[in-house]
């Protein structure tokens, strides 16, 4: 099962390398979103809590612009039936999830890097706390957006529906992650943030379990 999931990931990765559809549009989206924020700030000084919030605004909308590709492209190219034949639903979900996790990590590392360069107030004072919350937050983001992508790939009006369906599901994760980013930027220790870290961890586990259990129903027509 694992080798099949990896093969599926390789297939997506190769087709992404060939077309560079998601990567190009994601990179441009990140640049556009950050420059809009920079333009609107102008010469004002913004507070630390605001940068933490804006950081997750950019992450959320970038995720919404790129992560639905994994399932939508299969439906658009009409290759989902072939996938039905070659692998079990959970394997397909694993492969797609792996691709999205890696995409989310690349995207968010770039966003974090650009943020710490471009925003004076965005200083990560406790790097290990930031890294842990970043990893947990990214996994939750990838899992939730992958299962929602599977749902919308079967529906009409895919592009507009995706953020609409994802936002309420991601809301607990985003609210907690904003808090964690703020704590890391203020230099708080792990002791102060253990409750928030536990929330994000629980969220990851719950959404991951729920997604694996429900994906069968989405995938089988």
Contact positions toward other proteins, by CB under 8 A?
144, 147-148, 151-152, 154-157, 161, 164-165, 167-169, 171-172, 175-176, 179, 195-196, 199, 203, 206-207, 210-211, 214, 217-218, 221
What's the closest the beta carbon of residue 92 comes to other proteins, in angstroms? 15
Minimum CB distance to other proteins, residue 57 (Å): 16
> For other proteins, which is the closer residue by CB, 114 or 175?
175
Q: Hey, what are 64's tokens? A: 């919404």
How far apart are CB 39 and other proteins at their closest, in Å?
27
State the Cα angle at 195 between 175 and 109, rounded to 5°: 55
The residue (of 36 and 206) whose beta carbon lies closer to other proteins is: 206
CB of 218 to other proteins, least distance (A): 5
Sign of CA dihedral 151, 153, 156, 158: positive
152/53 Cα distance (integer angstroms):
27
| Nearer CB in complex with other proteins: 103/208 | 208
| Smaller CB separation from other proteins, 135 or 210 | 210
Q: Which is nearer to other proteins, 28 or 164 (CB)?
A: 164
Task: Output 81 or 157, the one with its CB closest to other proteins.
Answer: 157
Q: Which pair of structure tokens corresponds to residue 179?
A: 């808090």
Assigned token pair, 107: 């995207």
Distances in whole angstroms, Cα of residue 80 to Cα of each of 137, 160, 172, 221: 29, 22, 32, 11
DSSP states along 29-69: HHHHHHHHHHHHHTT----HHHHHHHHHHHHHHHHHHHTTH
**What is the smallest separation between the CB atom of 212 and other proteins, expressed in angstroms?**
12
DSSP state of 78: T
Which of 129, 132, 139, 138 has its CA nearest to residue 55? Answer: 138
Taking the complex as a whole, how short is the minimal distance between the CB of residue 56 and other proteins, in angstroms? 15
Query: Which position has the token pair 């420059």?
Result: 35
């Amino acid at each position: 099962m694992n080798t099949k999931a990896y093969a599926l990931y390789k297939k997506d990765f190769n087709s992404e390398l060939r077309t560079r559809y998601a990567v190009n549009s994601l990179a441009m989206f990140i640049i556009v979103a950050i420059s809009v924020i920079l333009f609107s700030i102008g010469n004002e000084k913004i507070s630390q809590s605001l940068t933490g919030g804006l950081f997750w605004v950019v992450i959320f909308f970038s995720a919404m612009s790129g992560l639905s590709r994994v399932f939508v492209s299969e439906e658009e190219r009409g290759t989902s039936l072939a996938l039905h034949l070659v692998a079990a639903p959970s394997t397909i979900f694993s492969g797609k999830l792996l691709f999205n996790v890696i995409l989310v990590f690349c995207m968010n590392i770039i966003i974090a890097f650009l943020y710490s360069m471009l925003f004076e107030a965005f200083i990560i004072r406790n790097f290990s706390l930031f890294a842990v919350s970043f990893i947990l937050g990214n996994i939750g983001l990838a899992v939730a957006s992958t299962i929602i992508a599977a749902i919308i790939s079967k529906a009409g009006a895919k592009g507009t529906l995706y953020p609409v369906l994802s936002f309420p599901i991601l809301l607990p994760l985003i609210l907690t992650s904003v808090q964690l980013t703020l704590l890391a930027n203020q230099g708080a220790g792990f002791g102060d943030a253990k409750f928030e870290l536990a929330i994000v961890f629980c969220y990851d586990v719950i959404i991951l379990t729920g997604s694996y259990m429900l994906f069968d129903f989405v995938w089988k027509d």
